[in-house]
Structure formats: C-alpha cells, structure tokens
C-alpha cells in the first residue's frame, strides 16, 4: 500500500532557479570563440576562403537552412518526448541545449559523454527534474 505524501513534502517550496550566466560570461564565450575561429582560419588561407564566399554570394546562406530545420525538428521531437513538462521547457530552450551538446560532442575529447551531461544539465536548468532530464535523453537515444 502506498502512503499519501506527507504534508511536509506537499508544502515544500518550489526549487530555486539556478543562476543564469551573466552578460560578461556570454561576451567572454563570444570573444574566445572568435579567437579560436581566427586561429583556425589562419591555417586555411583566409584569402582563398574569402574569395570562395564572395563567388558563392548570398546563396552561401542557403547552406544554413537544412541545419536550422534539423535543429528545429530535433527540438520539437524532444519536447514531445518530454510529455508533461513545466512551461519553462520551450522549443527555443531545447534547441539551444541541443546545439551546445552537439558542440561539446564534436569539439571535446570524450565529447559524447560531456555532451549528454551538458544536455541533462540544460534540461534540468529549464525546470525539469534531473530524473526527467536523464529519462528524456535515454528515450531520445533509443
């Protein structure tokens, strides 16, 4: 027989919101990303890359459309997998988490494990309990 939840648990205050990164943190990430991009671009003859982009013209932006559509589809599917969820779990938030996790998977040694950890943390930060975040990741991979 399952007992009803105690009044102490039922009356517990909601968990506190985790701190959000500051503008300084975002700026530091942007600057470091640009610096890494500049270091990598130096090795790939920037003049050749620039001339190729100029020859391609505005059509080069079309290359971003399939990636954006895939990201949106992934976020929508993930949101569906979550079932009942707090209103803080949005498609935009899930897309940002997915993008960050994919970047970790691709760029870091042991990135697959670190990417999953980043995704679990990100979903938890959106207000989903850690158990639900991990379960959604497992369902996503199945």
* Any domain includes 112: yes
**DSSP 8-class letter at 62:** G
* Any domain includes 5: no
* Any domain includes 15: no
What residue numbers bound the domain in which 121 lies? 22-141
- Number of folded domains in the chain? 1
Per residue of the chain (142 residues), give pLDDT as tens: 455 555 544 555 565 555 566 777 777 777 887 888 777 777 777 788 778 878 888 877 788 889 889 989 988 888 888 777 778 888 888 888 888 888 888 887 777 888 888 888 888 888 877 777 777 777 776 6
Pairs from 79-85 (Cβ < 8 Å, separation ≥ 24): 81/136, 81/139, 81/140, 82/123, 82/128, 82/132, 82/136, 85/128, 85/132
* Any domain includes 86: yes
Residue listed under structure tokens 């007992």: 3
pTM greater than 0.75 (yes/no): no
């Amino acid at each position: 027989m399952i007992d009803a939840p105690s009044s102490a648990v039922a009356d517990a205050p909601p968990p506190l919101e985790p701190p959000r990164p500051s503008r300084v943190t975002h700026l530091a990430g942007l600057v470091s990303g640009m610096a890494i991009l500049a270091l990598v671009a130096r090795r790939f003859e920037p003049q050749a890359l620039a001339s190729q982009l100029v020859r391609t013209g505005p059509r080069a932006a079309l290359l971003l459309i399939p990636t954006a559509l895939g990201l949106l589809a992934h976020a929508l599917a993930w949101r569906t997998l979550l079932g009942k969820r707090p209103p803080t779990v949005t498609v935009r938030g899930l897309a940002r988490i997915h993008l960050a996790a994919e970047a970790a998977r691709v760029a870091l040694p042991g990135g697959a494990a670190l990417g999953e950890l980043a995704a679990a943390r990100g979903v938890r930060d959106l207000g989903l309990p850690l158990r639900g975040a991990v379960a959604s990741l497992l369902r996503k991979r199945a």
